[in-house]
Amino acid sequence: MKKILFLPLLRMQSGHHQVADALMDMLKMRTTGVVLKKIDLLSYTNESLEKMISNGYLNWIRYAPETYNLAYKNFFYVPPTKIHFFKWYQHIFLNKMKRLLSEEKPDLIVCTHGFPSYLLSQLKRKGKCNIPTINVYTDFFINNIWGKEGIDVHFLPSQEVKESMIRKHQIPNQSMIVTGIPVHEEIMTTACIPKSVSRPKILISGGNSGLGGILKLSEELKKSKGLDFYVLCGNNRKLYDEIITWDLDHIKPFPYISSRSEMNKLYEEVDAIVTKPGGVTISEALRKRLPIFVHSMLPGQEEINLRYLKDSSLVFELDHKQSFETQLFSIFNDHEKIERWNLAVDSYHLGLELTSAEYMVEVMQGFLDLRLEVGTHA
């Protein structure tokens, strides 16, 4: 039995887990005799440590976003020579990673977070790991935590990132594939079909962790006269209960939706999405060709994502000083802006080199076949 080990980070639901789950489901449907396992290295190392870091991360963003943003940019979004703060504890995690690999004995490793990738790159550089490794990126940029040396294949979010990887890190072209940020295949591609906007349905996302700023829009939502809203509350029960108390026909909250086919149906019903610039949600909306309005962002990763998305004309950023409803209708009724957005989405999709589940599975299966062939001749 061959084994593929997926390595996100932290237990809380995030894009790192969603991308790992999407790839695992692709493999489950198309392979036999392959064990698929997802492990969070922090929980594996120490469950109490994982809980402390998860809670600390959420509280840091919630209560001191400016300092988190500054720390992220100074330590993670900087030239590689500045990432020396890892030195004092990396040997602990390197030993844990070696132990994990010894116990699990995977034939292929898929990293959906930069930290496991960094550790594996260090082990490969020292000749202590020869397991094929794929980096699958979950944002529209690559921070400097991600390992580069020794990584066999990079599933990249865009052509711009590919060009940057060649220029800055001399990554060979044959090791890189522009896949976009992988989304679950049940989020099916939608043709560009104009919908009626006499009373548009708007999907609002970003409330899962309680950090998305949806309640800041509450008064705007309540007094809206020409829009219907579907609000994704995720695991944020407080938000869900709050919206229920409003008892308004034009606002419908949804708890956490685990089924991607249900999520696909919801995408099909709406005319646009209002969200944060998280990699997976934006990628799903681009696949569905939904106009994307950004209502808020978390510091760090999402701020950098937003910069790329705006520069590429893939999203519309909302101005909190202006009427929410007025801004949406202004875009809906501006045919030139919608046409520019459609062209930008076309350009984005044309830049993707490999998007089908079959081909992604083929790439991963290729490493398993190679390992089998090497093992047979050994």
Give pLDDT tens digits for 80-134. 544 455 555 677 788 899 999 999 999 999 999 998 999 999 999 999 999 999 9
Between 223 and 160, name the one with better pLDDT. 160
- CA dist 252 and 263 (Å) reads 15
Encode pLDDT of 281-318 as tens digits.
999 999 999 999 998 887 788 889 999 999 999 999 99
Report the range of poorest mean pLDDT among 1-10, 41-50, 69-78, 332-341: 69-78
Q: Around Cβ 91, how many Cβ atoms within 10 Å? A: 11
Between 325 and 377, name the one with better pLDDT. 325
Confidence (pTM):
0.88
Per-residue burial over 225-264, b = 16 or more CB atoms within 10 Å of its CB, e = otherwise: eebbbbbbbbebeebbeebeeeeeebbebbeeeeebeebb
Yes or no: say if 150 and 124 are a contact pair by the CB < 8 Å rule.
Answer: yes
Residue 211: pLDDT band by 50, 70, 90 thresholds?
A: very low
Distances (CA, A) of 54 to 70, 75, 93, 171: 19, 18, 17, 32
Does 372 score more than 60 pLDDT?
no
What's residue 375's pLDDT?
47
The stretch 137-154 carries a mean pLDDT of 94
Would you call 215 exposed, middle or buried from its count of C-beta atoms within 10 A (0-12, 13-18, 19+)? middle
Residue 378: pLDDT band by 50, 70, 90 thresholds?
A: very low
Residues in the chain: 378
Q: How many angstroms from the chain centroid is the CA of residue 343? A: 23
What's residue 41's pLDDT?
85
Tokens of 262: 């249900």
- CA dist 273 and 292 (Å) reads 5
